[in-house]
Amino acid sequence: MSMGHFAAPRLTLRFFPIWRRHWLVWRKVAAPSILGHLADPVIYMLGLGYGLGSLLPEMGGMSYIAFLAAGTLCYSSMNSASFEALYSGFARMHEQRTWEAILNTPVALDDVVLSEILWAATKSLMSGAAVLVVIWILGLSHSLLSLWMIPLALLIGLAFAAIGLIMTALAPAYDFFMYYFTLVITPMMLLCGVFFPVSQLPEALQALAAALPLTHAVDLARPLMNGAVPPQALMHVGVLLTYTLAGFYISLVLFRRRLSR
Amino acid sequence: MNPVIQAKGLQKSYGGHCVVDGLDLSIYKGECFGLLGPNGAGKTTTLRMLLGLIAPDAGTATLLDLPVPQAAREARIKVGVVPQMDNLDPDFTVAENLLVYGRYFGMQDSDIEARIPDLLDFASLTSKRDAKVPTLSGGMKRRLTLARALVNDPDVVFLDEPTTGLDPQARHLIWQRLRELTQQGKTLLLTTHFMDEAERLCHRLAVMDNGKLISEGSPRELIERNIEPQVVEVFGETSGQWADMHAANFAQRYEVSGESVFCYVPEAQPLVMHLQAQSTLRYLHRPANLEDVFLKLTGREMRE
């Protein structure tokens, strides 16, 4: 690996035409995309929330479906960004050679990677906003503070897009992503307080959960939905931003190496 | 006049294997310059270095008077690229491909829209304006890729094997368009391994093998410099025996390849008269061409 690969990212507004390209593609497939990103988490939320919830008097001081709703917003934002950064990102980089076409123009790789992260985060934003609308319709939140869950969905998207792109940069083929989803995303869903409080876990797993980004997202989302300012909000935001910046830099270095061959 | 593209001592290795080995190149405005070579000769790596997409291990390059890769981004504002493999956006229509690509150059939508009719006309795709890319034929996709490379009205166009995989009709249309571009004063740098393409299109050529330029000049110069002017190809089951017994009497240089014997001669008449008397052999007498030069310089054995 050459020293040039480690240079600081050079960020410019040239990412924007690429973001617009992704947006135009998405508009053409918007209907199935919205269905996939909304129907799936909402079905889980309703099924588990009302089905399992009828067996539980309350969880964390609220109805189970309300408890689950905040977690659902977080994990569906996580999934949207992850699928976009891994599968769609890999398609654009490797299979369709969209990146190659773009890199022949006066646009740098740094701009391309930035556009991928911002686009995947945009998908999270849309997915989070859609879940929030369902939350409102079901009357699970009555606080304007819940509007903060929209920028939170964007932040979750940034963090998971940035981490996910590390995998995209390393992937030889699509199969490779199964490791990430099985070993990272699925445990994250189960350990980070989406379906039950982290405090129910053995202490070792609680310590692990505290290091995972989704835990911090859930710790922000649940109070916001219930109209409270989250305790240690700045720390949680800081963790998610750290994941974003570290993931962006590491993935960029790996993409520079991959595409210089 | 400064060269539009210049390389001095370019070198690039991958994993200890030298892919481009001390390459010097000067290409001038309005030229169509062809880079010929077998697969793996280093042609695509050379193009990528000249575009500033990868950094050379040694040597320098300039593109439109700007150093690359240092100022590659600025240089590429006036460069178009037709890549070896199609990378059109499959989700978009023909016109959308042009619009979206123009934006990468910082062009305003209105300026791109104004250019689209001319680009479509140039690519003979006006009737396909709203067709989706997957519905296009191979030739149409290539023409759209060419039109896309022209969206920013470039001074230089890089073309990496522009007609590979196309049928003769589609190739001829591409050739015609490339000639029009050079007539407009644009500089073209293309790689190919089709000798007829190189011979028809290129003002100057360089033959590349194992990362080095081994001969450079106009197609005519390359033929005159490297090879005897006449070729007699001899075919037939007994051609091998014939070659052992007679070929050296008529041709100073000949090559046996399967059941064919290639005789390179300054004057073909004596050999042709001899062959007319051989009932078991067939022959073909023709002027030497670029393919003969290429095979002489790079050998007949298969690559890869």
- At A47-57, the pLDDT tens digits run 999 999 999 88
Closest-CA residue of B relative to A24 is: B92
Cβ–Cβ contact B58 with A under 8 A: no
pLDDT at B258 exceeding the cut of 90 = no
Q: Which two tokens stand for residue A258?
A: 């991959």
Q: Are B81 and B155 in contact (CB under 8 A)?
A: no
Distance, CA of B43 to CA of B27 (rounded, Å): 15
**pLDDT of the residue at B20:** 94
**pLDDT of the residue at A34:** 80
Proportion of chain A above pLDDT 90, given as a percent: 86
**pLDDT of the residue at B15:** 85
Proportion of chain B above pLDDT 70, given as a percent: 99
Q: Are A231 and A81 in contact (CB under 8 A)?
A: no
Residues of A with CB below 8 A from B105's CB? 105-106
- Go through B154-193 and write b for each residue having 16 or more CB atoms within 10 A of its CB, e for each that does not: bbbbbbbbbbbebeeebbebbbebbeebbeeebbbbbbbb
Cβ–Cβ contact B83 with A under 8 A: yes
Closest-CA residue of A relative to B48 is: A104
Please write the tens of the pLDDT for every residue from B118-151.
999 999 999 999 999 999 999 999 999 999 999 9
pLDDT at A26 exceeding the cut of 70 = yes
pLDDT at B205 exceeding the cut of 70 = yes
Q: How many CB atoms lie within 10 A of CB A218?
A: 23
pLDDT band, very low/low/confident/very high, at B238 (cuts 50, 70, 90): confident
Selecting from 3.90.1170, 3.40.50, 3.30.70, 1.20.120, what CATH number does the domain B228-287 have? 3.30.70
Residues of B with CB below 8 A from A102's CB? 104
Cβ distance B104 to A2 less than 8 Å, yes or no, reads: no
**pLDDT of the residue at B304:** 58
Closest-CA residue of B relative to A259 is: B54
The candidate with the shortest Cα–Cα distance to B32, out of B188, B171, B159, is: B188
Q: Count of A–B CB contacts within 8 Å?
A: 64
Q: Are B119 and B151 in contact (CB under 8 A)?
A: yes
Closest-CA residue of A relative to B107 is: A17
**pLDDT of the residue at B7:** 96
pLDDT band, very low/low/confident/very high, at A161 (cuts 50, 70, 90): very high
pLDDT band, very low/low/confident/very high, at A199 (cuts 50, 70, 90): very high
| Torsion over CA: B44, B45, B48, B53 (sign) | positive
**pLDDT of the residue at A1:** 59
Cβ distance B73 to A107 less than 8 Å, yes or no, reads: yes
Proportion of chain B above pLDDT 90, given as a percent: 68
pLDDT at B303 exceeding the cut of 70 = no
Cβ distance B87 to A260 less than 8 Å, yes or no, reads: no
Cβ distance A106 to B105 less than 8 Å, yes or no, reads: yes
Question: Could you tell me the end-to-end alpha-carbon distance of chain B, in angstroms, rounded to an integer?
Answer: 40
CA-based nearest distance B244→chain A, Å? 48
Cβ distance A25 to B83 less than 8 Å, yes or no, reads: no
Of B14, B90, B105, the CB nearest to A105: B105
**Domain spans, chain A:** 69-259
Distance, CA of B261 to CA of B257 (rounded, Å): 6
pLDDT band, very low/low/confident/very high, at B157 (cuts 50, 70, 90): very high
CA-based nearest distance A18→chain B, Å? 7
Q: Does residue B187 sit in helix, strand or coil?
A: strand
**pLDDT of the residue at A238:** 98
CA-based nearest distance B81→chain A, Å? 6
The CATH H-level superfamily of B5-224 is P-loop containing nucleotide triphosphate hydrolases (3.40.50.300)
Cβ distance B96 to A98 less than 8 Å, yes or no, reads: no
Please write the tens of the pLDDT for every residue from B22-46.
999 999 999 999 999 888 889 999 9
pLDDT at A108 exceeding the cut of 70 = yes
pLDDT at A38 exceeding the cut of 90 = no
Specify the DSSP element, H or E, that contains A171: none
**pLDDT of the residue at B194:** 86
Average pLDDT of the segment spanning B235-264: 88
DSSP assignment of A43-55 equals: HHHHIIIIIIGGG
Closest-CA residue of B relative to A97 is: B87
Half-sphere exposure of B182 (CA within 13 A, CB side): 20
**pLDDT of the residue at B279:** 83
pLDDT band, very low/low/confident/very high, at A260 (cuts 50, 70, 90): confident
**pLDDT of the residue at B243:** 87
Distance, CA of A167 to CA of A156 (rounded, Å): 17
Distance, CA of A120 to CA of A187 (rounded, Å): 21
CA-based nearest distance A2→chain B, Å? 10
Cβ–Cβ contact B53 with A under 8 A: yes
Tell me whether 0.85 is exceeded by the ipTM. yes
pLDDT band, very low/low/confident/very high, at B69 (cuts 50, 70, 90): very high
Cβ distance B104 to A97 less than 8 Å, yes or no, reads: no
Of A14, A25, A260, the CB nearest to B54: A260
Residues of B with CB below 8 A from A111's CB? none
- Go through A134-169 and write b for each residue having 16 or more CB atoms within 10 A of its CB, e for each that does not: bbeebebbeeebbebbeebbbbbbbbbbbbbbbbbb
Q: For the sheet containing B66-68, what is the strand order?
A: B17-27, B5-14, B58-63, B66-68
pLDDT band, very low/low/confident/very high, at A160 (cuts 50, 70, 90): very high
Q: How many CB atoms lie within 10 A of CB A35?
A: 10
Cβ distance A25 to B89 less than 8 Å, yes or no, reads: yes
CA-based nearest distance A81→chain B, Å? 20
pLDDT band, very low/low/confident/very high, at B300 (cuts 50, 70, 90): confident
**Domain spans, chain B:** 5-224, 228-287
